[in-house]
Amino acid sequence: MTSKRGTWAFYLDRESDETLKMISDLEIFPSNMDIVIFAAAVGREYDCYVETKQNGSGYRWEGPAKDNVTTAWYLAFSKTKNPDILLDDNECYKVLASYANGGFQKIQEWADDAETTPGFLMNILNEMESIQLSH
């Protein structure tokens, strides 16, 4: 199977950057890519899909993005139901980024609704457990 690739795997929308930084500062995930994958899971769970309009944080093909290509394939196929999308890694990563953007919007709502940082952290932990149990 031959896939298409560019220089960058994907970009998040600039609006997602602030929420990504907020979560990163809490030091509950080992890397920003882990935060992106969690946000994409939240986006998929809540059917929040927001395409990138203004490039924010970008992830190159090396390292973390390359290691998560199967996650991108899964999300793209589950979104489109078209196996041909698996031939285009760029399109798969656009789907991953769109779910992550939607997930970051939902996560920001949780942060806004939480009265304390521990309350926000508890919301994240509860959501991680809920997503895990529902799949």
> What pLDDT shows up at residue 115?
85
- Residues with pLDDT less than 50, the chain: none
> What pLDDT shows up at residue 85?
94
Do 103 and 23 meet the contact criterion of CB atoms below 8 Å apart?
Answer: no
Do 3 and 87 meet the contact criterion of CB atoms below 8 Å apart?
Answer: yes
Tokens of 107: 């996560």
pTM for the whole thing? Answer: 0.86
> What pLDDT shows up at residue 61?
59
> What pLDDT shows up at residue 129?
87
> What pLDDT shows up at residue 62?
62
